[in-house]
Amino acid sequence: MKTTYAYRAPGKLILLGEYAVLGGAPALVVAVDRHARCAVEIDAETQAITVDAGSHGTIRWPADETAEHLPLVRGLLSRLGDPIAGRYRLDSDALYAETPLGRRKLGLGSSAATTVALAAALTGERWPDGRATYRLAQTVHRGVQGTGSGADIAASSLGGALAYRWLNDRALAPMDGLPAADGAGHAEDLPTHHGPIHAVWSGDSASTVRLVDVVTRWAARDPAGHARRMAELGFAARAGIDAWRAGDRRGVAAAADAGRIAIDALGRDAGADLCTATHHELHRIAQSRGAGVKPTGAGGGDLAWIYATDAADEAAAAKALSAAGHAVFAFEIAAGVERAG
């Protein structure tokens, strides 16, 4: 007898606090209604585990334990003592888009969302709490990538709007069969009254790992300059989170302006094109409608956030950007990882 169902995990946008979150500052992150999915087929007669990631390949466990492909999948399977046997099919197509340059990731955290969806599917109803799924997925994701605050993992696991801090020096004891972890984050739920989050495609994808590496190497050369830029990013994030919590759109927009200026300055200092020429052009168009545009996440490409002091100006800026030929998206804030059938 076969049982079929699916789990889905939302993508994310890091609106404020990028880079500074790696040093303990808060980040404003939202889960959005584009999802990675993991379809599951359980056959009571088999003890095998097969994970099919489409064009990225397939793993059969434990036969492929030493394989080199799909490291996130192997990381999850190796940390779980008794994952549910079955066939798992991963699909992150909703976090990509067709562009004139071909299929590109949007910057919604596709690897994080896929990891969370698979983690939830492998553990099933044992861990209905999204925070346990977060901890498992974050431990594996950071172990494979070597860096990352886990803000994207938190958004995919917990959903909503979050004020997120990375607590790298906090040792976590084993829990519910999950091994000990060398750090995790703290996520505060924020109101979701903001309405749709408008974003515009910058024209190309960015490599978060590469950009973080450039900034990290600059920090080693100029620690005082790095500390100054992190303080600016952290200040903008704290102000934006406070304003978001209070439902103060004007305050959120002011914080976004400060964050945009800070990320641009960080890029110039570090020698990384975080706020690109396209970002500046997008901001100029939005500014003509009383709004602004700021890079999300690590910058350098991907989606940029359209913000304004009121919803009408934000919508007008989105319309103007679309009329100028740019791909514009309106995301609803989404719930965290969940069983979807």
Please write the tens of the pLDDT for every residue from 122-169: 888 666 678 888 888 888 888 888 777 889 999 999 999 999 998 875
pLDDT of residue 207: 87
| Measured distance CA(109)–CA(31) in Å, rounded | 10
Strand residue runs (E) in 62-115:
86-91, 96-99, 102-105
Instruction: Report the mean per-residue pLDDT for the chain.
Output: 89
DSSP string covering 235-263, please? HHHHHHHHHHHHT-HHHHHHHHHHHHHHH
Question: Could you tell me the pTM of the whole model?
Answer: 0.91
Token pair 């990731």: residue: 105
Q: Which long-range contacts (CB under 8 A, 24 or more apart) does 240-248 make?
A: 240/15, 240/16, 240/28, 241/16, 241/26, 241/28, 241/163, 241/190, 244/28, 244/161, 244/190, 244/191, 244/194, 245/163, 245/190, 245/191, 247/191, 247/193
Token pair 């890029």: residue: 267
| Measured distance CA(3)–CA(213) in Å, rounded | 44
pLDDT of residue 115: 93
Calculate helix-pair angle for 151-158, 110-123, nearest 10 degrees. Answer: 50
CA distance readout (Å), 327 to 93, 124, 165, 191: 17, 37, 31, 28
pLDDT of residue 179: 55
Give the mean model confidence (pLDDT) for residues 295-315: 95
pLDDT of residue 78: 87
Whether domain 197-331 has CATH 3.40.50.450: the reply is no
Please write the tens of the pLDDT for every residue from 185-211: 789 999 987 789 999 999 888 888 899
Domain positions in the chain are 2-192, 197-331
pLDDT of residue 193: 79
Give the mean model confidence (pLDDT) for residues 37-58: 87
The CATH architecture of the domain made up of 2-192 is 2-Layer Sandwich (3.30)
- Within 8 A by CB and 6+ apart from 76, the residues are 83, 115, 118, 119, 122, 136, 137, 140
Q: Is 78 exposed, middle or buried (0-12, 13-18, 19+ CB in 10 A)?
A: middle
Give the mean model confidence (pLDDT) for residues 83-108: 85
| Measured distance CA(339)–CA(124) in Å, rounded | 9
pLDDT of residue 15: 98
177 has pLDDT over 80: no
| Measured distance CA(152)–CA(297) in Å, rounded | 9
More confident position, 195 or 34: 34
More confident position, 54 or 307: 307
pLDDT of residue 102: 72
Please write the tens of the pLDDT for every residue from 63-79: 888 888 888 889 888 88
Give the mean model confidence (pLDDT) for residues 276-301: 96
Please write the tens of the pLDDT for every residue from 229-282: 999 999 999 999 999 999 999 999 999 999 999 999 999 999 999 999 999 999
pLDDT of residue 319: 97
